[in-house]
Structure 1
Amino acid sequence: MIDPALFFGFAFAALLIELTPGPNMAWLVTLSISEGRKAGLAATVGIGLGLAFLAGLSAIGLAAVIASSDLAYEALRWAGALFMLYLAWEGWRAAGESSTALRTARHTAHAARGFVINALNPKAAVFYITVMPQFISPSLPAQPQALLLALSSVAIATTIHALLVLLAGSLRTFIDDEAQNRMIRRVLSVALVGIAVWLFLSAAR
Structure 2
Amino acid sequence: MTPGPNMAWLAGLAATEGRRNGMAAVWGIATGLLANGVLAAIGLAALLQAAPQLWTGLRVAGAAMMLWLALDAWRSADRKTAEKRPRSTARRAFMAGTMINLLNPKAYIFFIVVAPQFLRGATLGFRSALTLSLISVAIATTIHAIIVIAGARAHGWLNDPTRIKPIRRIFAVIMVGVAISFIAADLA
TM-score by length of 1: 0.58
Is the partner of 1:20 in helix, strand or coil?
Answer: helix
Alignment pair present for 1:79 and 2:61: yes
Q: Distance in 2 between matches of 1:192 and 1:50?
A: 18
Q: What is the rounded CA distance, in whole Å, between the counterparts of 1:156 and 1:181 in structure 2?
A: 25
Quick one: distance in 1 between partners of 2:140 and 2:170? Answer: 21
Give the TM-score taking structure 2 as reference length: 0.63
Task: Tell me the percent identity.
Answer: 17
Secondary structure of 2:166 counterpart: helix
Shift of 1:204: 6.8
Task: Compute the displacement of 1:128 (Å).
Answer: 0.6
Q: CA deviation at 1:173?
A: 4.5
1:157 equivalent in alignment to 2:144 = yes
Could you tell me whether the CA contact under 8 Å between 2:158 and 2:167 is conserved in 1? no
Q: Name the structure 2 match of 1:110.
A: none
Superposed counterparts of 1:123-202, under 5 Å: 123-133=96-106, 136=109, 138-141=112-115, 147=133, 150-151=137-138, 153-163=140-150, 167=153, 171-175=155-159, 177-202=160-185
Cα deviation, 1:104-146, whole Å, max 9, x if unaligned, reads: xxxxxxxxxxxxx48x9321121011124476164444759x9
Say which is worse superposed, 192-201 or 80-89, in terms of deviation.
Answer: 192-201
Q: What one-letter code is carried by the residue in structure 1 that aligns with 2:156? A: R
Look up the SS of the partner of 1:194 in the other structure.
Answer: helix
CA deviation map 1:149-182 (0-9, x unaligned): 65554233200233356x4xx743533x234222
Checking the alignment, whether the CA contact within 8 Å between 1:28 and 1:161 is kept in structure 2 is no
Shift of 1:52: 2.5
Gaps of 5+ in 2: 78-84, 117-128
Change (3 A) 1:196 1:178: same
For the structure 1 residues 171 and 195, does the alpha-carbon distance in structure 2 shift closer, same or farther, using more than 3 Å as the test?
closer
Give the partner amino acid of 1:157: H
Q: CA RMSD in A?
A: 3.9
User: Is the 8 Å Cα contact of residues 15 and 155 (structure 2) preserved in structure 1?
Assistant: no
Cα offset for 1:47? 6.6
After superposition, the Cα gap between the structure-2 partners of 1:179 and 1:66, relative to the gap in structure 1 and judged at 3 Å, is farther
Tell me by how many angstroms 1:185 deviates: 1.5
